[in-house]
Amino acid sequence: AQSVTQLGSHVSVSEGALVLLRCNYSSSVPPYLFWYVQYPNQGLQLLLKYTSAATLVKGINGFEAEFKKSETSFHLTKPSAHMSDAAEYFCAVRDSGYSTLTFGKGTMLLVSP
């Protein structure tokens, strides 16, 4: 079964700094990959997804993620953090042929002025 590892339960950055949230998956066969964001007291919202069309995927709110097969990683980045980016971020994977997603444990992004 797939597993997803998000390194760091909390990441703190200053406003304007680079955001890097890490995600590694376990499968030797590249799965389908997603990043979701959850703002306080809300459900999850899709940020971006890997569709194999390009290894660098652009999402909403200035976020992007790069698929690296050799590293089994799909790290999320944003060049310049805003206060409004403070939220919890989840990486998720789906194996081919399955409808279910496996989620990482989440990373809380804290942005300080």
Partner 1 sequence: DVKVTQSSRYLVKRTGEKVFLECVQDMDHENMFWYRQDPGLGLRLIYFSYDVKMKEKGDIPEGYSVSREKKERFSLILESASTNQTSMYLCASSPPASGRPYNEQFFGPGTRLTVL
Letters for 89-108 (x = contact with partner 1 by CB under 8 A, - = none) are -x---x-xxxxxx-xxxx--
3-state SS, residue 62: helix
* Footprint (CB under 8 A) of partner 1, residues 11-40: 32, 34, 36
Among 3, 14, 26, 42, binds partner 1 (CB under 8 A): 42
DSSP, residue by residue, 30-52? --EEEEEEE-TTS-EEEEEEE-S
The C-alpha angle with vertex 74 and arms to 95 and 7, in degrees rounded to 5, equals 105
Q: Tell me which residues touch partner 1 (CB under 8 A).
A: 9, 32, 34, 36, 41-46, 49, 51, 90, 94, 96-101, 103-106
